[in-house]
Amino acid sequence: MSVFIRVYAITLWPFIFIRDEGNNTTLNHERIHIRQQAELWVIGFYILYVLDWFKGLRLYDDAGAAYTFIRFEQEAYENQNDAYYWLTRKKFAWKNYIV
CA 99 to chain centre: 13
Beta-bridged to residue 16, according to DSSP, are: 11
At 4, is the pLDDT very low, low, confident or very high (cuts 50, 70, 90)?
low
In a domain, residue 4? The reply is no
- What confidence score (pLDDT) does residue 1 get? 37
| 36 in any annotated domain | yes
Residue 5: per-residue pLDDT: 63
CA–CA distance, 50 with 45 (Å, rounded to integer): 9
Q: What is the separation, in whole angstroms, between the first and last Cα of the chain?
A: 29
**What is the identity of the amino acid at 49?**
Y
Domain assignment present for residue 2? The answer is no
pLDDT at 77 over 80: yes
Residue 47 has pLDDT above 80, yes or no: yes
Number of domains in the chain: 1
For residue 3, pLDDT over 60 is answered with: no
Q: What is the pTM of this model?
A: 0.91
Query: Residue 3 domain-assigned?
Result: no
Residue 57 lies in domain = 9-96
Contact 38, 14 (CB under 8 A): no
Residue 85: pLDDT band (50, 70, 90) is very high
